[in-house]
Structure 1
């Protein structure tokens, strides 16, 4: 049998749909095109670049130095990524802020699985490019009563992020469900499943087939209280439910998975310091099946394994984040963060504890309107179970061209040349506790030279 063509490959269906939509809009008759031009918005985040390991000829693009294998601790080693978003206003625009509206949002995301994915003629396209639909939802506002918003579908249901660590924290509930918002109150119901996870599937007769499957229901409530001078207090609550999953064998024996639940409570304070300066501090606690937090995991990624009773009793996860930006003058800005995750698994389960942390700072020196010198330093650690604490220090020098000439950490696009050096302790080296070490091999010093463009609009 011949392998499927590129257009038949399941990974490209989402992108093909989005591209076909754009082509149809572009080829519409003049009257329709003029109408849709007022209704269609295209935004995008993207980064594409090159990377070398000066001490090795191995391919290292996207092989992070970070101990948790996430971007927490610095994102500069991340691989290529494209994320266009299409927003279609389904009603004509109105000047009346109380007028009803409905928007359709579609976001296909493209990233490399192995190699450089842009040059499809020089790389194995279907083995390299991963395409997923990250968002597909409709939001309607001012329906039934003014200021009421309703949405349904799959969406980026999340708040602020630590951009220099590529980390959406506190309320990263990106997923599929339905929700409503009215003023400062936001509620949603989400569903989560897993294709092969033992928490969601059960093999009734032991033949290797997953005969029964269940889904997690997550109820979310959020409230944001704004006070004077731009400060705010954000409250978060989640309730996670896993129903019982049972089957009766021919012998009459009942087998399956017991019901389980978990809850999350969190508080986040935003302090506006004027002139785009801010400090955000958050604390979040999750229990039982809602204990996900390790390395920035979402709350429904339950930590560890269940106990002998197949329950996550006593499991817990804590996340603490402090993130601030201060623009000292037209010559200097400082963006810094501290992130801590602590997890405890279910009672009588193996590897019952984990802790990871990262502290980092990025300074931006505005040497000229279109030339910024960016410097970054991070310190991070990871301990799993009763093992040692592995640590790493990263230092980066990054001269950057900024075509817009804006003296702001948010100015884009960036055309960057950067060099990062990492110093690993003995425990990190012995355990190869990073994708970089797993690629290069045991070394106490790592080198990463890169050139990249990053943009958003």
Structure 2
């Protein structure tokens, strides 16, 4: 057992940096001296290579529409890795005391400029290899009274996802804050904060470094969320969701801006969210593991977020009303259905549908002014349907085929559309006949067709690189694993 602890703590040292060296050494010494500690290790990741034959590029680009992320298929995703460690601490009078204490740390590694891991390093200014810590939190379970859990820290606090679209929908409350759970109820508060990159009125003015678009919506705010599960019957679950967002007033300090027509600051604002999700986790008459999940959510005011391939409500969409400088009339609708049907050990069918409709508070549907004279679209609608069939040729050889269709309309622009087919012969060395079998070693062959609007506007990461084209192609050899 000591060897397992040593390996895990060595990995933690590598990914946590010198600031944790002393603390980790102390932790390891305590592992050796007490029976009140245990250790767990987990990982998720994907890595591989891609090729675009159109321009003979050895670094592939996503074929999906812009601002959709992996909605439309994730087979062209770039390298990414998570590594997590958990320390399980037992109370002093264990086992009489049933309290469980968990300290969990998860690191994430990725490249901002889409380079392969093997061609990147943290010492290379051009590779932008980035190390992040999406999770560092402590949770006490069954503390004070049975079934009461409390936690503090930064946490990936979210429910299920549409894995074939890498889409965590409905209740992604990830962030830094605190929360409590009691039986079937959960309440949390996350403190959404953004760095001030313009040195104007910290911290209430934020310039999105990636897009260059300043946004009121990314100022500091507090998001309070409540969820409750109703167990209607066995394997039949109904979850209700409520959120309240509050964003404080910025400083009263006058900004040194010469143009009086330029918007530089907005007052504080609020927003709310209501949602419901129904989960059939076993379907009568179908093989084990079959399910259907249906979610509906409405967000109002500054809580109308959910774009760019993620569903976080605090990432507010659109522009404010320029008469009141508020997001009072902004809204968003978010509908997702996700199902899996297993036909014995022969094959499986996995499918999803996503519909997102968002509108800001400005009077126009098209472009509207925001900070510093910039313009953003004040409305958008997108929808996607996707289906994956998996044929288990043998225990270890699976044939996957995916078909996706996505459409998106920004403001008064025409509808952009993409249809994509991917054929993915897959090696599943564990021999499990399941869509969740991992690790996977995959050969990916994808072809996408764009409509006139998407082609002419180059409305895809692929088209932005190769130019206007009716068809897009991607070939790759990929691996994906998880050990959670």
- Range of TM-score over shorter length: 0.7 to 0.9
**Secondary structure at the counterpart of residue 172 of structure 1:** coil
Aligned match of 2:153: 153
- Give distance in 2, aligned partners of 1:163 and 1:22: 38
Question: What's the counterpart of residue 235 of structure 2?
Answer: 230
Please report how far the alpha carbon of residue 21 of structure 1 lies from its aligned counterpart in structure 2 after TM superposition: 6.0
Partner of 2:15: 15
1:124 aligns to 2:124 (yes or no): yes
Q: State the Cα RMSD in Å.
A: 3.1
Q: Which runs of 5+ in 1 are unaligned?
A: 1-11, 204-209
Corresponding residue for residue 306 of structure 1: 320
1:355-382 Cα distance to aligned partner (Å, 9 max, x none): 0111101111000001000000000011
**Distance in 1, Cα, partners of 2:171 & 2:426:** 32
Partner of 2:89: 90
SS in 2 for 1:369: coil
Asked whether 1:421 is paired with 2:421, we answer no
1:129-165 deviations in whole A, cap 9, x for unaligned? 1111111110011111111000011100100100000
Structure 1 match to 2:246: 241
**Partner Cα separation in structure 1 for residue 351 and residue 467 of structure 2:** 30
**What secondary structure is seen at the aligned counterpart in 1 of 2:463?**
helix
Give the match for residue 297 of structure 2.
284
- 2:416 aligns to what? 390
Report if aligned partners of 1:84, 1:109 keep a CA contact under 8 Å in 2.
yes
1:218 aligns with one of 223, 226, 235:
223
User: 2:209 aligns to what?
Assistant: none
Query: Is the Cα contact below 8 Å between 2:398 and 2:428 reproduced in 1?
Result: yes
Moved more, 285-294 or 121-130: 121-130
The normalised TM-score by structure 1 is: 0.87
> Within the alignment, does 1:339 sit opposite 2:348 as a pair?
no
1:55 Cα deviation (Å)? 1.8
Question: 302, 305, 324: which is aligned to 2:339?
Answer: 324
Q: CA deviation at 1:245?
A: 2.6
Partner of 1:293: 306
1:168 paired residue number? 168
Please list every run of 5 or more consecutive structure 2 residues that lacks an aligned counterpart in the other structure.
1-11, 207-214, 256-263, 369-376
Give the direction of change, closer, same or farther, for the CA distance of 1:202–1:156 in structure 2 (3 Å limit).
closer
In 2, Cα distance between equivalents of 1:428 and 1:224:
41
Is the Cα–Cα contact under 8 Å of residues 283 and 319 in structure 1 kept in the other structure?
yes
Aligned to 1:5: none
In the alignment, the residues of structure 2 paired with residue 97 and residue 305 of structure 1 have an alpha-carbon distance, to the nearest angstrom, of 57
After superposing the two structures, state which structure 1 stretch, 98-107 or 318-327, moved more.
98-107
Cα distance 1:220–1:247, how it changes in 2: closer, same or farther (>3 A)?
same
CA gap of 1:14–1:227, structure 2 versus 1, over 3 A, is farther
TM-score, normalised by the number of residues in structure 2: 0.82
Rounded to whole Å, the distance in 2 between the matches of 1:14 and 1:188 is: 31
Question: Contact 2:111–2:120 (CA<8 Å) still a contact in 1?
Answer: no
Q: Which moved more, 1:190-199 or 1:63-72?
A: 190-199
